[in-house]
Structure formats: C-alpha cells, structure tokens
Amino acid sequence: MSFDNAYEALAEAQDDARWAFGTGFDDPLSGVDTSVPSDVDGAALAAYCLMLGDDALIASHRLQQWCTRAPELEDEVAIANIGLDLLGQARLLLTRAGRADGSGRGEDEYAFFRAESEFRNVRLTEHAHGDFAELLATVLVFGTWRLAVMQRLRDSRDPVLAAIAAKAVPELTYHREYAADWVVRLGDGTAVSHQRMQSALDGIWPLVGELFATHEVERALAGVAVDPAETRAEFDAVLAQVCAAAGLSLPERAPLAGVAGRTGRDGLHTEAMGYVLAELQSVARAHPEASW
C-alpha cells in the first residue's frame, strides 16, 4: 500500500490510539519509507535521532520507577502513560537511527547493548526524582522543552522525523499540561507543598542550561534538526506563566553545566546514569539471545 507521506504510513500501520505503547508490532517503522533524503548526511541524521531517542528512553525509564508510588491511582495511570508515550517515541527514533546510518541496528541493540559513554541523552532525563514534586518539576521542564522542539521538527526535511514529531506533539502537550496543573496545585497549596515544589525546581535547575546548548550535530543538519537555542524564549515564557500561577520563584537562567563544554550529548553523564543503565540493561545483557 502506498502513502502520500510518512505520517500517513505511521498512522495507518498503527491505527490503535495506543500506538506509542509499543505493543502489537515488532518493527515500529514497518511500512514506512525510511530512505534518507539525498542531500542529508545519514550518519549525522542517525546521531540526531539517537540524541532525541535517548532523551525519551531514559526519561521513560525514570518515570516507570514511579509506578505504585504516586499519591492517587489516577496519577499512577497518568505517569505510566507519559512514560509509555516517551517509550514509543524512543522506539521510533532509535529504529530511525539504525536505518539512517545503514547499520540496520534495531531499537533493542541501541537500548540494551551500548555503554554509558555511547548514550546521548541530556542529563536532566537521568536525574533521580527524590519526591513527587521533583518528578513533576522534571516532567514540566522536560515536556515544555521537548514539545517546543517537536513542534518545530514537524517541518523537518526528513519526512520520517517530521512524522514522528507530528505524532509526539499531542502527547507532549498532555505531559506539559498534566505537570503544570500539579505544579500550580502544590505551589499554591500548603506551606509544606509550596516549599517542596520550590525546592524541586531549584534542585533540577542546574541541569536546564544544557537543554538549549546547540550541538555540532544539530548545526550540521540545518533544515532537518531543530536548534534548541531557538526554543529558549518559548520555554521561559511557559515556565514564567506556570510559576506565577503557582506563586513560585523562577530560578535564574542556568548556565551550561559540563566539563570543558562537554555534556550528555557528548556522552558525559552524571553518576546516576550508571545505575539507570544497570537496571535498564540487566536482563537483556544476562540473556542476550533470549526471545519473549
């Protein structure tokens, strides 16, 4: 069956509203034309897909650690769904990476059999959530930033990236709004909830500057990738609005944190990343040829 664009192919292949959950299909890009545009560097495109895919994969893993820990059943479901949405995005992006560079590597190989230094996620995603407020602050910050990126990525010259972004935007809009609602509720609640919400924002803020640092891969993919620096004004406006409604103080703009300019995009991670991967990869590495 032929399709006019990659988005139609994705939508037709996965007409179930739960498409991002990653259930019921082996190849998330089955039926989609994954050829790389002739004027696009396949290796650079693969590197960019890994960056975005790793962000989603590690963020999703951190969220699943909160299953059974949320204050209400409704929030258990919401947090699980946010994690599953991100897992679906990760599956598509990691698979796209393997097609773009011609290696044919699949999502499992990328997720389970890379070393820590080979992951390209921003370090905010690997940060542990000490309490519910810190989880919400992270989802708000990450979701607001990623939504701004994906909205722009819908115009990518790579039709597969554009299609993935188009599917991700409605999901990320919900992620942002869910977190914003809770941040306002806690920030404008009791003295204790206000203090914990403010502490949560302050605690993750040193990792925020990295989100807007333009990487050399993004510079090399003009018209294909999104320059994250272009999303800063939109991000600041959303966070300012949420914090004002919550009665919270927006921390000062965080500088880029790293070592000699290197960040998570370059494989430089926090101490927490090793523990994340130990949990994420343990079964696959113990039984590398297993099928389920």
Render pLDDT for 147-174 as a digit per residue (tens, 0 to 9): 999 999 999 999 999 999 999 999 999 9
Q: Which of 272, 239, 286 is nearest to 130 (CA)?
A: 272
Cα(43)–Cα(157) distance, integer angstroms: 15
Distances (CA, A) of 136 to 97, 191, 208, 248: 30, 18, 15, 14
For range 27-38, the mean pLDDT: 88
pLDDT at 85 over 70: yes
Is residue 179 a part of any domain in this protein?
A: yes
Let me know: does 32 contact 163? Beta carbons within 8 Å: yes
Residue 10: the pLDDT is 58
Cα(260)–Cα(157) distance, integer angstroms: 32
Q: Which of 82, 188, 91, 100 is nearest to 142 (CA)?
A: 82
* Average pLDDT of the residues of the chain: 90
Q: What is the DSSP string of 23-71?
A: -S-S-TTTTS--PPPTTS-HHHHHHHHHHHHHHHHHHHHHHHTTTTTSS
Residue 21: the pLDDT is 39
For range 31-46, the mean pLDDT: 92
Is residue 14 a part of any domain in this protein?
A: no
pLDDT at 20 over 50: no
Contacts 24+ apart (CB under 8 A), 62-70: 62/125, 62/126, 62/127, 62/128, 62/129, 62/138, 62/276, 63/135, 63/139, 65/129, 66/129, 66/135, 69/132, 70/132
User: The domain that contains 208 carries what CATH number?
Assistant: 1.20.1260.10
- The band of 23, judged by pLDDT with boundaries at 50, 70 and 90, is very low
Q: What is the DSSP letter of 155?
A: T
Indicate the number of domains in the chain: 1
Residue 291: the pLDDT is 72
Is residue 49 a part of any domain in this protein?
A: yes
More confident residue, 68 or 180: 180
Q: Which residue has the tokens 């290197």?
A: 262
- The band of 245, judged by pLDDT with boundaries at 50, 70 and 90, is very high
For range 206-213, the mean pLDDT: 94
Is residue 6 a part of any domain in this protein?
A: no
Residue 152: the pLDDT is 98
Cα(141)–Cα(242) distance, integer angstroms: 11
Is residue 204 a part of any domain in this protein?
A: yes
Residue 67: the pLDDT is 85
Is residue 106 a part of any domain in this protein?
A: yes
Cα(30)–Cα(154) distance, integer angstroms: 20
Let me know: does 232 contact 145? Beta carbons within 8 Å: no
Cα(169)–Cα(153) distance, integer angstroms: 10
Say whether 19 sits in a helix, a strand or coil: helix
CA 39, 40, 43 angle in degrees (round to 5)?
145
Q: What is the DSSP letter of 229?
A: G
Q: Which residue has the tokens 């979701």?
A: 143
Residue 195: the pLDDT is 98
What pTM does this model have? 0.89
What percentage of the chain reaches a pLDDT higher than 90? 77
- The band of 278, judged by pLDDT with boundaries at 50, 70 and 90, is very high
Give 247-275 pLDDT, tens digit per residue.
999 988 766 665 557 899 999 999 999 99
For range 185-204, the mean pLDDT: 97
**CA dihedral sign, ordered 223, 106, 272, 258:** negative
Inter-axis angle of helices 159-187 and 132-153, nearest 10: 150
Show the domain range for 236. 39-286
